[in-house]
Amino acid sequence: MGETPRRIHLVRHAESVWNSVRRVQGNSCCAGLSPRGIEQARMLGRRLGAMKFDAVFCSDIERAVRTARLALGEDCPIEFSHELREIAFGTWEGKLVSELEEEFPGAMERWFREPSSVNIDGAEPFMEFHARVAREMDRIIGSTSGDLLIISHGGVICAWLTSLLGMHPDRIWSFSLPNTSVTTIMLEFRPRMRLFGDASHLDAATLGFDGMPSGVK
């Protein structure tokens, strides 16, 4: 109780070209940031410049890496982690959401209601993804001290939140996070949410689309 509380700042990457047209990304590395995403990352940088953190971790997928470098600069020390990647969507990756709804009627709705019940060819099983995220976050927090900045993906952040808050993994889409939003968890006598999905550093023109659960984005 007497220890200084730690702050874990979780940031979703900036908007990618695929985000902007609602194309499923998952672990795909071929989708760069959109023009709006580049501006989001720069605006995020101004916000991060006023924040305190002792170490930075980031997914090694390009859209997250580019977000981190635009926001923090090329010289900022960052540990890139393969384990902070978004869930791999197998044969769904690269397809528009509208195409999937037509090709697999009802599958998208099941994914948002009960993702553990959906089997996608070539995809990472949902429960394995959930366990991967929790394991990596435990590793990062356990091997560091002080406040952390973690730049990753919507699905990764939401998966950890369900784990942290004792929610069933299938409740992952109870959360919706705008691109470059900041979520802050305080680690004290128990984890406490201080800030959730905050995108106040963006204006109306740069906020982008925020109506879809983050996992396919």
Q: What is the pLDDT along the chain (217 residues), one digit of tens a residue?
A: 446 899 999 999 999 999 988 899 888 777 799 999 999 999 999 999 999 999 999 999 999 999 999 999 999 999 999 999 999 999 999 999 999 999 999 998 999 999 999 999 999 999 999 999 999 999 999 999 999 999 999 999 999 999 999 999 999 999 989 999 999 999 988 899 999 999 999 998 898 766 444 444 4
pLDDT of residue 210: 61
pLDDT at residue number 174: 93
In the chain, where are the structural domains located?
Answer: 6-216
pLDDT at 31: 79
Could you tell me the pTM of the whole model?
0.93
pLDDT at position 4 is: 83
pLDDT for 176: 87
Among candidate residues 13, 130, 153, 201, the one labeled active-site is 13
Query: Is 82 tagged catalytic?
Result: no
Sign of CA dihedral 32, 34, 39, 43: negative
Q: Which fold has domain 6-216?
A: Rossmann fold (3.40.50)
Catalytic choice (15, 39, 86, 124): 86
